[in-house]
């Protein structure tokens, strides 16, 4: 094999493809090798650069997280002699790896810096690991103008969901925090929002009066996510719910765990566009829900899109890159991405949606 052929082949396997091949190799391995392959496969999605590029530069793959000498050799042989097709099963398909997301962001140099907000995150008010102030402080370092705090509602006790009294307590805490931020000259502001649990019939679990005073209401399904029948009616019902403006992690899929719900997506997206409501890109690495393929459908219908990291810890705020890269790949215009709106524009959008019911 001459040098040109070698480098062309080296460029051919992405980290996501390497992850898939390592997952396949893990299936026939035992003991510590199986676990090492599985760990490396999961880590590959978070490697900051393409393994192929590391090898092409003559560096060692052991620079990458979860890659020891044995795994490095395994990856080098995959890169040297890649299989013709790497086709993940549906349960692992359509997930961006960080390195490819960063390539997309590098091709759109002002996109990340122009992003004004992250519109889904959790705190110790529900099942987050960081306090409200810790999350906001970390979000501020990312340069956001505002963030939406979206703790869970009471219908999700497993996630320590809030009832109306706790939501009111959080409202007072957020108001006080916004005053602290303003008086200390900080730019970031906190939107009081919620991730309200929706029943499979599209109904919420909170008093509508309590929701009316919030800056933003996300609605999300957390039950009956493994049914295989068409769920179009569930989505249409959720979009008719007058208390909800954003449908969060619409499919409910999880990498290698759950496929997520099925629906007549063009019809759901058209209904979203007609209602003026937004569909979310939950940017959590294991969710990426919506993914690029469904975002193209949403984009064609003209629906609004909202990006949220669904961060349950400070470190997870970084996955905004995956969500933004997906929106860019699907060519969703900035005017239809809530995260590019200033706080006043977003507030006007929310009141328009509320006025439309």
Closest CB 195 distance from Zn ion, rounded Å: 5
Token pair 């091709």 in the structure block, residue: 107
Minimum CB distance to Zn ion smaller for 79 or for 159: 159
Minimum CB distance to Zn ion smaller for 102 or for 122: 122
Handedness of CA 158, 252, 153, 339 (dihedral sign): positive
Minimum CB distance to Zn ion smaller for 82 or for 219: 219
The single residue among 127, 164, 286, 300 that binds Zn ion, judged by CB under 5 A, is 127
What kind and span of H or E run contains 350? helix 343-356
268-306 burial: b if 16+ Cβ within 10 Å, else e: bbbbbbebbbbbbbbbbbbbbbbbbebbbbbbebebbbb
If one asks whether residue 311 binds Zn ion (CB under 5 A), the answer comes out as no
> Could you give the angle at the alpha carbon of 51 between the alpha carbons of 48 and 54, nearest 5°?
90
- Report whether 113 contacts 145 (CB < 8 A): no
Minimum CB distance to Zn ion smaller for 52 or for 238: 238
Which one-letter DSSP state was computed for residue 306? E
- Report whether 46 contacts 129 (CB < 8 A): no
CA–CA dist 58, 104 (Å, integer)? 24
Closest CB 302 distance from Zn ion, rounded Å: 25
CB atoms within 10 A of CB 145: 16
Of 161-169, 220-228, 284-292, 315-323, the segment contacting Zn ion by CB under 5 A is: 220-228
**Binding-residue total with Zn ion (CB under 5 A):** 4
Closest CB 202 distance from Zn ion, rounded Å: 15
- Report whether 105 contacts 325 (CB < 8 A): yes
Interface pattern 1-40 for Zn ion (x via CB under 5 A): ----------------------------------------
- For residue 74, the cross-strand partners are none
Closest CB 252 distance from Zn ion, rounded Å: 8
Of 94-102, 119-127, 205-213, 300-308, the segment contacting Zn ion by CB under 5 A is: 119-127
Of 123-131, 204-212, 233-241, 253-261, the segment contacting Zn ion by CB under 5 A is: 123-131
Closest CB 127 distance from Zn ion, rounded Å: 4
The single residue among 52, 159, 305, 327 that binds Zn ion, judged by CB under 5 A, is 159
Minimum CB distance to Zn ion smaller for 166 or for 267: 166
> Of residues 95-114, which lie at the interface with Zn ion (CB under 5 A)?
none
The single residue among 136, 194, 206, 220 that binds Zn ion, judged by CB under 5 A, is 220
Residues 6+ apart with CB under 8 A from 89: none
Helices (H) and strands (E) in the chain, counts: 15, 7
Token pair 């992003």 in the structure block, residue: 115
Closest CB 144 distance from Zn ion, rounded Å: 20
Minimum CB distance to Zn ion smaller for 127 or for 205: 127
Give the interface with Zn ion as residue ranges (CB under 5 A): 122, 127, 159, 220
């Amino acid at each position: 094999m001459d040098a040109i052929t070698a480098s062309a082949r080296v460029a051919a396997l992405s980290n996501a493809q390497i992850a898939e091949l390592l997952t396949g190799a893990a299936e026939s391995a035992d003991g510590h090798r199986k676990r090492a392959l599985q760990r490396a496969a999961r880590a590959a999605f978070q490697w900051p650069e393409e393994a192929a590029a590391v090898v092409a530069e003559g560096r060692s793959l052991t620079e990458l997280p979860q890659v020891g000498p044995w795994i490095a050799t395994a990856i080098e042989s995959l890169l040297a002699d890649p299989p013709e097709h790497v086709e993940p099963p549906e349960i692992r398909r359509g997930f961006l790896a960080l390195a490819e997301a960063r390539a997309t962001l590098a091709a759109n140099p002002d996109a990340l810096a122009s992003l004004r907000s992250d519109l889904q995150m959790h705190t110790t008010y529900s099942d987050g690991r960081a306090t409200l102030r810790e999350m906001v402080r970390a979000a501020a370092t990312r340069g956001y103008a505002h963030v939406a705090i979206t703790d869970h509602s009471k219908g999700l006790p497993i996630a320590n969901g809030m009832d109306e009294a706790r939501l009111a307590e959080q409202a007072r805490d957020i108001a006080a925090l916004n005053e602290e931020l303003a008086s200390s000259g900080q730019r970031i502001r906190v939107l009081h929002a919620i991730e309200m649990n929706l029943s499979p019939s599209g109904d919420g679990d909170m008093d509508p009066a309590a929701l009316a005073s919030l800056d933003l209401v996300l609605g999300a399904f957390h039950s009956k996510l493994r049914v295989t029948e068409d769920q179009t009616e569930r989505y249409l019902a959720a979009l008719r719910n007058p208390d909800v403006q954003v449908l969060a992690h619409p499919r409910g899929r999880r990498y290698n765990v759950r496929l997520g719900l099925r629906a007549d997506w063009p019809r759901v997206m058209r209904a979203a566009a007609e209602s003026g409501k937004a569909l979310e890109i939950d940017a959590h690495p294991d969710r990426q829900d919506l993914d690029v393929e469904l975002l193209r459908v949403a984009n064609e219908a003209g629906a609004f899109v909202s990006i949220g990291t669904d961060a349950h810890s400070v470190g997870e705020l970084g996955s905004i890159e995956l969500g933004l890269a997906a929106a860019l790949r699907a060519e969703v215009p900035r005017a239809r991405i809530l995260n590019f709106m200033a706080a006043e524009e977003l507030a006007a959008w929310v009141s328009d949606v509320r006025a439309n019911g």
